[in-house]
Chain A
Amino acid sequence: MRSRRLTPLRGAVVLVVALVAQIAFVADLRIAGAVGDLMLVVTVAAALTGGPDRGAAYGFFAGLIFDLVLDSPFGLSALTYAVIGYGVGLVCSVLFRPTGAWPLAVAAVASLVATAFYTGVGHLIGVPYPWADVPAIAVAVALWNAALVLPAMAVLRWVHGPSQQPDRVEVLLR
């Protein structure tokens, strides 16, 4: 039995490793001019294995440390990933339980929504990211997400112990 007190530490290690891998490795591998997004992979995996609560928390902190090393508006990634983590967790614990290869599809759809959300909020706050770039970015992010979401879910299960996804009713009542 592992100590529960170490769970936040393990979670933090996962986020920091993902950040370093993102900026030093993944960001250099371009597909059609766009790159993958490991922080979003971790967020979606957390939501799939732990429900909306954990998805939102991982999303917020993943976005927060990503924002630290970016030049884009501070807090925009944190907001986007928190919303996506919560949304994915909610959909996947209330509407349907993704099993088998379904997480790949969920991760791909989440990429598209996240890219559009980020661009949309950018416009609202006066940073006009071009809408024309959204499809290419969404495709690249979706491919990376689909490829990495299953291993990332395994890592998240290591962090938090075996799956303990909240009950459907439990989520709705909270």
Chain B
Amino acid sequence: MAISPPTGSRTRFAVLVLASVTLLTVGLRDAPVVREVREGASVVIGPVESAVDTVTAPVRNAWHGVTDYEDLQRENDELRSQIEAADAEGVQASDAEQQLAELSAALDLPWAGNVKTATARVVSGPRSNFSHAIEIDKGTDDGIAVDMPVVAGAGLVGRVSQATGSSSTVELLTDPEFRVGVRLSTTGDLGTARGQGRDDPLSVDSAISPSAKVAKGTGIVTSGVDRSAYPPGIPVGTVASSRQGSGGLALDLDVDPVVDVDQLSYLTVMLWTDGG
């Protein structure tokens, strides 16, 4: 080796490990300094990222063409039949929605359908295998703030976890740290849904009464109970399976999200923060 400082290799390694552990500890406490540094990094790296994105788009498109072709074809067929079914339901739903909006307004209740929104384009997907966040091209300049709910179509996608002037980061509902209060659309039972990672269903494992009969396909919506980070009535998913939880005190549900978070191109940010 060339000239090396007097300390040994092991000492320096120990210092690096200690430094990492210190950062972890600081970061886990949600220290504002970590958030500020990350926001700064996002402001610096954002323009570079979009430039490289534009240049490399043809290569990435070719890759997706090769790896996703069959999936896309099958999906296309499925979607065609779903659209027809949805058209019919839409007519019924719009009538019910109208009545709900009138009642909510009369009772001064918050309701997802009344919230102002901003539409944003997805700039980049998750940046690593352990990341469950995507970048969008609108930020505080458009009224977006941290913790606002994000939807696609009508279904919940996640929440804004970081916002700078012209871009924001959205934490997806598949993130293992994601939590949202939910309500069963049939029985009104309340529970908490949490993410379990990419491609895995959400898990609802608290407070659903074990005697509740939950059929496969039952809709799950945000509960919007007092001080919730989400307005009530945003569709979250449908029940894929249910089983008795440990101890038999509650029912555990696996919930397929309404929105496929791998296929997002435009999102809607609900300009809604706790308390309306």
Q: Is the CB of B49 within 8 A of A75?
A: no
Contact with B along A49-76 (1 / 0, CB 8 A): 0011100110110011111111111111
Cβ distance B64 to chain A, nearest Cβ, rounded Å: 8
B128: Cβ under 8 A from any A Cβ: yes
Which one of B60, B125, B129 has the highest number of Cβ atoms from chain A below 10 Å of its Cβ? B129
For A171, list chain B residues within 8 Å (CB): 9
Bound form: Cα–Cα A73–B126 in Å: 14
Bound form: Cα–Cα A83–B17 in Å: 7
A68-B38, A71-B169 known; A130 vs B128 contact (CB < 8 Å): no
* Shortest Cβ distance from B12 into A: residue: A53
Partner among A53, A77, A115, A119 whose Cβ is within 8 Å of the Cβ of B9: A53
Bound form: Cα–Cα A98–B4 in Å: 24
The 3 closest A-B pairs by CB, nearest first: A74-B27, A75-B23, A79-B20
Bound form: Cα–Cα A130–B129 in Å: 11
B32: Cβ under 8 A from any A Cβ: no
Contact with B along A63-100 (1 / 0, CB 8 A): 11111111111111111001100100000000000000
Q: How many A-B residue pairs have CB under 8 A?
A: 164
For B161, list chain A residues within 8 Å (CB): 71
Chain A interface size, under 10 / 10 to 19 / 20 to 34 / 35 or more:
35 or more
Bound form: Cα–Cα A125–B130 in Å: 14
Which one of A21, A24, A171 has the highest number of Cβ atoms from chain B below 10 Å of its Cβ? A24
In the complex, chain B residues 7-57 whose Cβ is within 8 Å of any chain A Cβ: 8-10, 12-13, 16-17, 19-28, 34, 37-38, 41-42, 45, 48-50, 52-53, 56
B198: Cβ under 8 A from any A Cβ: yes
For B48, list chain A residues within 8 Å (CB): 20, 24
- The tally of residues in B whose CB lies under 8 Å from a CB in A reads 58
A133-B198, A164-B2 known; A141 vs B129 contact (CB < 8 Å): yes
A35: Cβ under 8 A from any B Cβ: yes
B124: Cβ under 8 A from any A Cβ: yes
B: which residues have CB within 8 A of A? 1-2, 4, 8-10, 12-13, 16-17, 19-28, 34, 37-38, 41-42, 45, 48-50, 52-53, 56, 59-60, 63, 67, 124-133, 161-162, 169, 171, 175-177, 196-200
Q: Is the CB of A78 within 8 A of B128?
A: no
For A60, list chain B residues within 8 Å (CB): 16, 19-20
Partner among B20, B41, B125, B131 whose Cβ is within 8 Å of the Cβ of A78: B20
Q: Is the CB of B60 within 8 A of A72?
A: no
Bound form: Cα–Cα A169–B169 in Å: 49
Q: Is the CB of A75 within 8 A of B24?
A: yes
Q: Is the CB of B21 within 8 A of A130?
A: no
A57-B16, A68-B38, A127-B177 known; A27 vs B126 contact (CB < 8 Å): yes
Q: Is the CB of B131 within 8 A of A128?
A: no
A41: Cβ under 8 A from any B Cβ: no
For A78, list chain B residues within 8 Å (CB): 16, 19-20, 23
Q: Is the CB of A130 within 8 A of B127?
A: no
Partner among A23, A71, A115, A140 whose Cβ is within 8 Å of the Cβ of B171: A71
A52-B13, A69-B42, A170-B1 known; A75 vs B27 contact (CB < 8 Å): yes
